[in-house]
Amino acid sequence: MKQFPLTPAAGKRLIAKALAKHPEIEKTLQSGTLAIIAGTTNGYVAEEILKTIGQEGEFSRKRFFRGIVLPPGAPVNPDGRYADETGFPGDVIISDGVWERGKRIFDVADTLKEGDIILKGANAINLELKQAAIYIGHPQAGTIGASLPGVVGRRVRLILPVGLEKRVNSDLNQLAVELNQPGLTGPRILPVPGEVFTELEAIKLLTGAKAHLVAAGGVAGAEGVLWLAIDHREAEAEKVLKEVSTEPPFSL
């Protein structure tokens, strides 16, 4: 068993590279609609998927998000949102292999059908229970609110790319009951049904190796680092992890 460190940014790139080779996504790129909802992790995912169809040239991760968490002292509005909200490019909607620039999930949500895929980031995961949940700030539940009718009503596949740094121990269904009570303040939280796709699933898909989260943390730029142990096919995993290991931190 060999151990490897992985920064959150490297983890995002690893997840993105794996999803670009996800067999269901490859199938939908040939025939169907793939909706990549804006988010920081999904920015990496969009880059890698657009690269596979030769359409990455005009894409930028610079403003590919609707809401982000920033450290104390960062430029935010009174409600806590990032102060510079100009230049949002829309989500990445790919229909039959063609990126429909400028479209948003709200433009296509009602027409998605079985065989189509939505990629949506998450804010919390429970690894043991394979649960994922999304912070909600919008009164109509935002992009996930628009997506769920297709997922539940028409069997649209929902894949949730999410880094292991967002792991929590609580049962997310119970946590939602507590946080969503009337009279409380702050974001609400919504557990959602879908395929949780972390760095662990990425390594499995790319190399066939099984990875284990064994430790975390660091300083001087290693804050949030994950330590992953690989228990077989270490050489294949080491090659893939080396490719993403120097990914620079996410910047605005």
Write out pLDDT tens, residues 186-210: 899 999 999 999 999 999 999 999 9
150-191 pLDDT, tens digit per residue, is 999 999 999 999 999 999 999 999 999 999 999 999 899 999
pLDDT mean over 16-32: 98
pLDDT of residue 6 exceeding 70, the answer is yes
pLDDT of residue 252 exceeding 70, the answer is yes
CATH number where 179 lies: 3.40.50
Tally the residues of the chain. 252
> What is the structure's pLDDT at 86?
62
Mean pLDDT, the chain, integer: 93
pLDDT of residue 84 exceeding 60, the answer is no
pLDDT of residue 140 exceeding 70, the answer is yes
235 part of a folded domain? no
Which long-range contacts does 136-141 make (Cβ < 8 Å, 24+ apart)? Answer: 136/187, 136/188, 136/189, 136/190, 137/67, 137/187, 137/188, 141/190
Q: Helices 8-19 and 40-52: crossing angle, nearest 10°?
A: 40
Question: Can you tell me the distance from the alpha carbon of 148 to that of 190, in angstroms, rounded to the nearest whole number?
Answer: 11
Q: Give the number of domains in the chain.
A: 1
- pTM for this structure? 0.94
2 part of a folded domain? no
- Which DSSP symbol is given to 25? H
Question: Can you tell me the distance from the alpha carbon of 207 to that of 129, in angstroms, rounded to the nearest whole number?
Answer: 24
180 part of a folded domain? yes
| Residue 8 CB-half CA count within 13 A | 17
- Which DSSP symbol is given to 52? H
Residue pair 114/122 in contact (Cβ under 8 Å)? The answer is no
Question: Can you tell me the distance from the alpha carbon of 165 to that of 163, in angstroms, rounded to the nearest whole number?
Answer: 5
Share of the chain above pLDDT 70, in %: 95
4 part of a folded domain? no
Question: Can you tell me the distance from the alpha carbon of 5 to that of 242, in angstroms, rounded to the nearest whole number?
Answer: 10
pLDDT of residue 80 exceeding 80, the answer is no
212 part of a folded domain? no
Strands 33-36 and 117-119, bridge-based pairing: parallel
pLDDT band at 72; cut points 50, 70, 90: confident
The closest of 188, 95, 177 to 139, measured between CA atoms, is 188
225 part of a folded domain? no
> What is the structure's pLDDT at 232?
84
Name the residue range of residue 14's domain: 10-202
196 part of a folded domain? yes
> What is the structure's pLDDT at 10?
97
Task: Tokens for 32, please give them.
Answer: 């169907």
pLDDT of residue 76 exceeding 90, the answer is no
Strands 157-161 and 117-119, bridge-based pairing: parallel
pLDDT band at 231; cut points 50, 70, 90: confident
43-71 pLDDT, tens digit per residue, is 999 999 999 999 998 899 988 998 777 77
Question: Can you tell me the distance from the alpha carbon of 163 to that of 14, in angstroms, rounded to the nearest whole number?
Answer: 10
pLDDT of residue 128 exceeding 60, the answer is yes
pLDDT mean over 113-128: 97
pLDDT of residue 8 exceeding 80, the answer is yes
User: Cβ contacts of residue 133 below 8 Å, gap of 6+?
Assistant: 122, 123, 124, 125, 172, 175, 176, 189, 190, 191, 192
> What is the structure's pLDDT at 66?
87
Residue pair 77/50 in contact (Cβ under 8 Å)? The answer is no
Q: Is 249 exposed, middle or buried (0-12, 13-18, 19+ CB in 10 A)?
A: exposed
211 part of a folded domain? no
Compute, in degrees rounded to 10, the torsion defined by CA atoms 11, 14, 19, 21. -170
